[in-house]
Amino acid sequence: MSEHDHDHEHDEEPTEAEARAEAERLVRKEIALSQIRQYGDPVLRMRAGEVEVFDDELVRITERMFQLMRDADGIGLAATQVGILRRFVVCTLDGEDYVLVNPVVSPVGEGTEVDEEGCLSLGAVRVPVERATRVRVEAKDVQGASQSLELKDMAARVIQHELDHLDGVLLVDRTDAESRREALSLLRPRLVLTS
């Protein structure tokens, strides 16, 4: 899931060093996004299988995914989005990093809320999506130990979004008809006319 764009409000002109750091950040973001599967890639529509082996390879991949997620200004990234059809995600929930393997998410109570979401696989698309406001998550960590979390609000939204990726479900499937139409028109490859 993508982070809201930050508001950069400065009273003064950025220094040369600040401008250079910002330019480098944008390059890192572009590179990260180029390594994340984008809308139209059939992998994003496939259901991922359970993780059965907890080995160094899994640790290495999740470390790489955290790096991609941060570089791309994201707060969650599912294995599906890097072309791995296994059920694990990395995310930052309430300021803490988690690897959630084989996650099972169930709503707690009846409460739902509609809010805008973006996705690292859907470019500039932001659409309203209804999610449960409280959920319980049962998952393994990267070593295979059981973890149980109770999440609410933004953190609950992030894990529901990432779990959808493991089932091949995208934001455009979850939003209202009008928002879907607008999103799809943004996502449709542009025709380039050359003479």
Q: How far is the CB of 60 from Zn ion (least distance, A)?
A: 22
Q: How far is the CB of 174 from Zn ion (least distance, A)?
A: 11
* Stretch of residues binding Zn ion (CB under 5 A), selected from 33-41, 63-71, 119-127, 150-158: 119-127
* Cα–Cα distance, 133 to 114 (Å, whole number): 9
Q: Which listed residue (16, 162, 178, 182) is catalytic?
A: 162
Number of amino acids touching Zn ion (CB under 5 A): 1
- Does 77 bind Zn ion (CB under 5 A)? Our answer is no
162 is catalytic: yes
123: left (phi over 0), alpha (psi -120 to 50) or beta: left
- Does 48 bind Zn ion (CB under 5 A)? Our answer is no
- Does 119 bind Zn ion (CB under 5 A)? Our answer is yes
- Does 139 bind Zn ion (CB under 5 A)? Our answer is no
Q: How far is the CB of 190 from Zn ion (least distance, A)?
A: 22
* Stretch of residues binding Zn ion (CB under 5 A), selected from 18-26, 103-111, 112-120, 178-186: 112-120
- Output 93 or 119, the one with its CB closest to Zn ion: 119
Provide the angle, in degrees to the nearest 10, between the axes of the packed helices 56-71 and 16-34.
130
- Output 61 or 119, the one with its CB closest to Zn ion: 119
Active site residues per annotation:
162
Binding site for Zn ion (CB under 5 A): 119
